[in-house]
Chains A and B, each alone.
Chain A
């Protein structure tokens, strides 16, 4: 099946610093990628929809200036957590929509665990 990678798989940073997480579709082109956040023992919550070449669409309650999303190519989307604080510590998961697989199939990355000290 289609493969989506994320880098890094985990990161620890100091409060106030910014962290960039990459999401790549390795064997297909993805016009649309999604970013999710998952708290322990809780559901995946959609943060934003990232469309190649245009601005991301953020879900209600997600701060655009806090979570910067860039989808500069058909195989790469990045999520930058700016001025991170301990409450931003979470598991961040991306997914990529593969058009040939049908409208409703998303392929997920393995996730990135962010810990802010």
Chain B
């Protein structure tokens, strides 16, 4: 079946540190991959996405590369800020054109000043 596994949180970093949140997936075929972010008290927001192998999604300084060979989509940011504190969800969409999303368990990130 389709599944997404994220690194367990919570993750706590100091401001300006380098961030990596690991995400691996299991899926048949070639899914689209997503990172969503949920700030306190708000709904999930799409952070970035990649629809095919070797694609790199990027937004707000965050990046993730679709690695088919390792079935991974790790989220990275070179220098985090306090405002990046949130819960991050990795997700996949199994079939092109389908609307269903399969989520990882979420990783809570806290950035200290």
The SS class assigned to the A binding surface is: strand
Nearest CB in chain B to that of A45: its residue? B103
B14-22, B42-50, B54-62, B65-73 - interface stretch: B42-50
User: Given the known A-B contacts A32-B99, A104-B93, are A43 and B106 also in contact in the complex, defined by CB atoms under 8 Å?
Assistant: yes
Chain A 41-74, CB within 8 Å of chain B: the 1/0 string?
A: 1111110010000000000000000000000000
Are B104 and A43 closer than 8 Å at their CB atoms?
A: yes
| A20-46 at interface with B (beta carbon < 8 Å) | 32, 34, 41-46
Number of A residues with CB within 8 Å of any CB on chain B: 23
Are B43 and A93 closer than 8 Å at their CB atoms?
A: yes
**B105, CB-defined interface residue at 8 Å:** yes
What are the nearest 6 A-B pairs in CB distance? A108-B43, A108-B44, A43-B105, A44-B103, A43-B103, A110-B43
Complex interface: chain A residues within 8 A of B97 (CB): 103
Are B32 and A104 closer than 8 Å at their CB atoms?
A: yes
Complex interface: chain A residues within 8 A of B89 (CB): 43-44
Which of A4, A45, A97 is the one whose CB lies under 8 Å from B99?
A97
Complex interface: chain B residues within 8 A of A105 (CB): 46
Nearest-Cβ distance from residue A47 to partner chain B, whole angstroms:
11
| B21-36 at interface with A (beta carbon < 8 Å) | 32, 34, 36
Are B104 and A4 closer than 8 Å at their CB atoms?
A: no
User: CA of A44 to CA of B92 in the docked complex: distance in angstroms?
Assistant: 12
User: Given the known A-B contacts A43-B4, A104-B99, are A1 and B43 also in contact in the complex, defined by CB atoms under 8 Å?
Assistant: no
Nearest CB in chain B to that of A97: its residue? B99
Complex interface: chain A residues within 8 A of B32 (CB): 104
Complex interface: chain B residues within 8 A of A75 (CB): none
User: Given the known A-B contacts A41-B105, A104-B49, are A46 and B41 also in contact in the complex, defined by CB atoms under 8 Å?
Assistant: no
**A92, CB-defined interface residue at 8 Å:** no
Which of B42, B51, B100, B106 is the one whose CB lies under 8 Å from A110?
B42
Complex interface: chain B residues within 8 A of A93 (CB): 43-44
